[in-house]
Amino acid sequence: MAPPLLPGLSFLPSESVLLDRYLQPKIAGSSLDDLGCKAIMHDVDVYLLPPDELTAKYEHAPAGSDGAKVWYFFCPITKPKNGRTARRSRTICGDIRRWYHSEGSKKVVNGCAAVGGYYQKFTYKEKTESGGNVKPGWLMTEYGVTPEHGGVDLVLCKIYMSPRAPSRKRKAAEEEHVDAPPPTVQRVLQAIVEEEEETASCGDAPTVVEAAEEQGDASGNGWDDIDMTELFNGDTEDEPVRSD
């Protein structure tokens, strides 16, 4: 067993360090002992267990000054066995638990990992008996290397709890209903509705809300899949600051 890190030390690597110092050597065949990270990184398929159970079994990395805990896992890439699609399966224990994309894949632009290095972000959700979804607050950033630049079926997953996550006592109140837009979109649409009501005319052009509903119906997707940027300009929510 690897010795624990000295008290007072924290582990806050940048994206390029995670790729250059840890993932690339691991892909090349280095062990956790070789990398000197056995105490804080683990060889585990993150899709075998829900994140609350997964993080309870494995040691987190030394936290920073804010006390936020982060777990790192070298995870194999598994794809559906049905042969009908190359899309990766991100479900856990059936279909009621799943990691959903919250941001598309982005290139890492610093360090040697700028060639072929990428990351993408996910949000963990669980289905409820009523057909809705709850977000316990778990987030994941996946770091990988494209196949043409030496990447294989292995990624490095960083799992952590959102600083804005509700407490467990409030979890039941955070249910997302299937047909309801996310809270941020609700606020934006409500403001637009109020403005349109004040300036209503006799024209037949659809309102922004109607256009959003039509976009969702036409694509067969829910509110989470609607591209709000096609309906109006401006951000709906500040982008979270990434700690490098």
192, 206 Cβ separation under 8 angstroms: no
User: Left if phi > 0, otherwise alpha if psi is -120 to 50, otherwise beta: which for 83?
Assistant: left
**In the structure encoding, which two tokens stand for residue 237, read together?**
């929510």
Q: What percent of the chain has pLDDT over 90?
A: 34
pLDDT band at 202 (very low <50, low <70, confident <90, very high): very low
Averaged pLDDT of the chain: 72
140, 157 Cβ separation under 8 angstroms: yes
pLDDT of the residue at 88: 67
65, 108 Cβ separation under 8 angstroms: no
pLDDT tops 50 at residue 30: yes
- pTM to 2 decimals? 0.63
SS3 51: helix
Look up the CATH number of domain 15-174. Answer: 2.170.150.80
pLDDT of the residue at 219: 42
Q: What does the chain come to in residues?
A: 244
Report phi then psi at 192, rounded to 5: -70, -40
Q: Where in the chain is the domain with CATH 2.170.150.80?
A: 15-174
Report phi then psi at 179, rounded to 5: -90, 0
Whose CA is closest to 152, among 17, 16, 24, 15?
Answer: 24
Average pLDDT in the 65-89 region?
Answer: 76
pLDDT band at 12 (very low <50, low <70, confident <90, very high): confident
* Interacting residues of 32 by C-beta distance below 8 A, sequence separation 6+: 2, 38, 41, 42, 43, 74
